[in-house]
Amino acid sequence: MNTAFLEHFAALPQEGPSFLAAMRRDALARFTAHGFPTPRNEDWHFTSPAPIVESSFEPMRPMAAPIDRSAIAPWMAGSDEWPLLVFVNGRFAPSLSSTASLPVGVRAMSLASALLEEPTLVERYLGRVASFNEQAFAFVALNTALMRDGSVIHVARDTRVSRPLHMLFLTDDAADGGVTHPRNLVVVDRNAEVSLIEQYASLAGGRSLTNAVTEAVLDDGATLRHYRLQRENMRAFHTGHVDARLARDAHYHSFSFATGAELSRINIYATLGGEGSGATLNGLYMLDDVQHCDHQTRIEHARPNCYSRELYKGILDGASHGVFNGKVYVHAEAQKTDGKQTNNTLLLSERARIDTKPQLEIFADDVKCTHGATVGRLDALSAFYMRSRGITAATTRRLLTYAFAAEVLETIELEPLRTALEALTLARYAGE
Amino acid sequence: MLTIDGLRATAGDREILRGITMSVAAGEVHAIMGPNGSGKSTLAQVLAGHPGYEVTGGTVEYDGRDLLAMEPEERAHAGIFLAFQYPVEIPGVSNAYFLRTAFNEIRKARGEEEIDPMDFLDVMAERLKLVDMDEAMLQRSVNSGFSGGEKKRNEILQMAVLEPRLAILDETDSGLDIDALRVVADGVNALRRPENATIVVTHYQRLLNYIVPDYVHVLANGRIVKSGGKELALDLEARGYDWLIDEPRTAGAGA
Amino acid sequence: MSSSIESLVGKEYQYGFTTDIEADTLPPGLNEDVVRAISRRKREPAFMLEWRLKAFRRWQTLTEPHWSNVTYPPLDYQAISYYSAPKTAKPLGSLDELDPKIRETYDKLGIPLHEQKLLAGVAVDAVFDSVSVGTTYKEELKKHGIVFCSFGEAVQEHPGLVEQYLGSVVPYSDNFFAALNAAVFSDGSFVYVPKGVRCPMELSTYFRINAEGTGQFERTLIVADEGAYVSYLEGCTAPKRSANQLHAAVVELVALDNATVKYSTVQNWYAGDEDGRGGIYNFVTKRGKALRNAKISWTQVETGSAITWKYPSVILQGDNSTGEFYSVAVVNNRQQADTGTKMIHIGRNTKSNIVSKGISAGHGQNSYRGQVKVVPKASGARNYTQCDSMLIGNRCGAHTFPYIEAQNNTAIIEHEASTSKIGEDQIFYLKQRGLSAEQAVSMIVSGFCREVFKELPMEFALEAQQLLGITLEGSVG
Write down which chains contact chain A via at least 3 CB pairs under 8 A. Answer: C
- Average pLDDT rounded to a whole number, residues C288-315: 95
Position A323 in a domain:
no
pLDDT digits (tens, 9 = 90+) for C308-332: 999 999 999 999 999 999 999 988 8
Does residue A431 have a pLDDT over 70?
Answer: no
From A239, A257, A272, give the residue that closes a domain.
A272
- pLDDT of C117 strictly over 80: no
C-interface mutation test, from A360, A370, A378, A404, most C Cβ less than 10 A away: A360
pLDDT digits (tens, 9 = 90+) for C234-283: 887 777 777 888 899 999 999 999 999 999 998 888 888 888 888 889 99
pLDDT for A17 equals 87
The rounded distance, in Å, linking the Cα atoms of C187 and C162 is 13
Tell whether C421 lies on the interface with A, counting CB pairs under 8 A.
yes
Confidence of residue B248 (pLDDT cuts 50, 70, 90): very low
| Mutation site, B77, B93, B112, B151, interface C, largest C CB count within 10 A | B93
Chain C residues with beta carbon closer than 8 angstroms to that of A355 = 403-406
Contact yes or no for C400 and A371 at CB 8 A: yes
Distance CA C290, CA C320 (A): 9
Query: Going by C-beta distance under 8 Å and a sequence separation of 6 or more, which residues neighbour residue B35?
Result: B203, B220, B241, B245
Q: Dump the DSSP string for A187-201.
A: EE-TT-EEEEEEEEE
Lowest mean pLDDT, pick from A19-28, C39-48, C68-77: C68-77
The pTM is what?
0.82
Mean pLDDT on B195-202: 94
CA nearest to A346 within chain C? C409
Alpha-carbon distance of A47 to A36, in angstroms, equals: 12
pLDDT for residue C472 is more than 70: no
The CATH class of B2-244 is alpha beta
* Pairwise CB contact (< 8 Å): B105 & C434: yes
**Residue C476 pLDDT > 60, yes or no?**
no
Do C and B make contact via 3 or more CB pairs under 8 A? The reply is: yes
Most confident of B24-38, B104-118, B144-158, C20-34: B24-38
pLDDT given for residue B253 in this prediction? 38
CB–CB contact B162 C434 (8 Å): yes
What is the domain extent for residue A427?
380-432
Q: How many CA atoms lie within 13 A of A113 on its CB side?
A: 12
Q: Name the DSSP letter for residue B177.
A: -
Comparing A107-121, B60-74, B122-136, C153-167, the range with the smallest average pLDDT is B122-136
Number of CB atoms found within 10 A of residue C35's CB: 21
Task: Give yes or no for residue C470 having a pLDDT over 70.
Answer: no
Q: Average per-residue pLDDT in chain A?
A: 92
Q: How far is C432 from chain B (nearest CA, A)?
A: 5
Q: Do chains C and A touch (3 or more CB pairs under 8 A)?
A: yes
CA distance B239 to chain C (A): 36
Could you tell me which residues are beta bridge partners of residue A197?
A166, A227
If you write DSSP's letter for every residue of C221-288 in order, what string do you get? EEEE-TT-EEEEEEEEE----SSEEEE--EEEEEE-TT-EEEEEEEE------TT--SEEEEEEEEEE
Polymer length of chain C = 477
A144 and A263 housed in the same domain: yes
**Measured between CB atoms, which of C394, C419, C421 is closest to A360?**
C419
C47 reaches A (C-beta below 8 A): no
* CA of C88 vs chain A CAs: smallest distance (Å): 49
Cβ atoms of residues A211 and A198 within 8 Å: no
Among A131, A114, A132, smallest CA distance to A123 is for A114
Query: Which has more pLDDT, A37 or C102?
Result: A37
Distances (CA, A) of B218 to A12, B234, C233: 79, 12, 63
Q: Which of B51, B75, B91 sits opposite C448 (nearest CB)?
A: B91
A432 located within any domain: yes
Q: Region A276-297: what's the mean pLDDT?
A: 97
For residue A340, being part of any structural domain is answered with no
Which residue from A354, A355, A368 is facing C420, i.e. has the nearest CB? Answer: A368
Total domain count for chain A? Answer: 2
| CB spacing of B101 vs C444 below 8 angstroms | no
Could you tell me the pLDDT band of residue C62, with boundaries at 50, 70 and 90? very high
* pLDDT tens-digit readout, A111-155: 999 999 999 999 999 999 999 999 999 999 999 999 999 999 999
Residue of chain A nearest C419, judged by CA positions: A369
Query: C389, C431, C444, C452: best mutation site toward chain B, by most B Cβ within 10 Å?
Result: C431
Specify which residues B216 forms β-bridges with: B31, B228
**Least confident among B170-174, C154-158, C206-210:** C206-210
- Parallel, antiparallel or unpaired: strands A321-330 and A292-301: parallel
The confidence band for B255, taking pLDDT boundaries of 50, 70 and 90, is very low
Pairs of CB atoms within 8 A across B/C: 78
Cβ atoms of C199 and C139 within 8 Å: the answer is no
Nearest CB to C434: which of B88, B93, B109?
B109
Number of C-beta neighbours around residue A387 at 10 A = 14
Largest Cα separation within chain A, whole Å, is: 70
Single out the residue of C373, C371, C370, C342 nearest to residue C357, CA to CA: C370
Inter-chain touch A374–C415, beta carbons under 8 Å: yes
pLDDT tens digits, one per residue of B232-244: 888 888 888 887 7
Quick one: which of B200, B242, B207, B250 has its CA closest to B225?
A: B242
Residue C428: closest CA among chain B residues belongs to which residue?
A: B50
Q: Which of C326, C390, C426, C432 best probes binding to B when mutated, by most B CB atoms within 10 angstroms?
A: C432
Average pLDDT over residues A292-299: 97
C4 touches chain A (CB under 8 A): no
Comparing A214-228, A244-258, C119-133, C365-379, which segment has the lowest mean pLDDT? C119-133
Burial of A17 (0-12, 13-18, 19+ CB in 10 A): middle
Q: How far is C441 from chain B (nearest CA, A)?
A: 11
Interchain CB distance below 8 Å, B72 and C424: no
pLDDT of B250 over the 50 cut: no
| Chain mean pLDDT for chain C | 86
Residue C115 binned pLDDT confidence (cut-offs 50, 70, 90): low
**What is the Cα–Cα distance from C276 to C362, expressed in whole angstroms?**
11
**ipTM (interface pTM):** 0.85
Interface contact A369-C391, CB threshold 8 A: no
First to last CA, chain B: 26
A-chain residues near C415 (CB < 8 A): 358, 371-374
At residue C77, the pLDDT reads: 92
| Single residue among A232, A248, A272 that ends a domain in this structure | A272
Q: What is the H or E stretch that residue A230 is in? A: strand A223-231
Å from C3 to nearest chain A CA? 11
Touching C (3+ Cβ pairs <8 A), the chains are: A, B
- Report the pLDDT value the prediction gives residue A393, as an integer from 0 to 100: 78
The pLDDT of residue C118 is above 70: no
Each domain of chain C, given as residue ranges in start order, spans 18-84+145-426
The span from the CA of A331 to the CA of A308, in Å, is 14
Per the CB < 8 A criterion, the answer to whether A218 and A252 are in contact is: yes
Question: Which one of A229, A248, A272 terminates a domain?
Answer: A272
Q: Which residues of C touch A372 (CB under 8 A)?
A: 414-417
| Range with lowest mean pLDDT among A144-153, A307-316, C144-153, C437-446 | C437-446
Contact A369 C409 (CB under 8 A): no
User: Which residue would you say has higher pLDDT here, C75 or C317?
Assistant: C317
Give the residue on A whose Cα is nearest the Cα of C401: A359
B102 interfacial to chain C (CB closer than 8 Å): yes
pLDDT tens-digit map of A92-121: 999 999 988 888 999 999 999 999 999 999
**Angle subtended at Cα C207 by Cα C205 and Cα C211, rounded to the nearest 5 degrees:** 155
What's the pLDDT band for A1 if we cut at 50, 70, 90?
very low
> What's residue A432's pLDDT?
47
Cα A134 to Cα A53, A324, A331, A401, distances in angstroms? 17, 20, 20, 39
Of the candidates C434, C439, C444, the beta carbon closest to that of B90 is on: C444
The pLDDT assigned to C473 comes to: 41
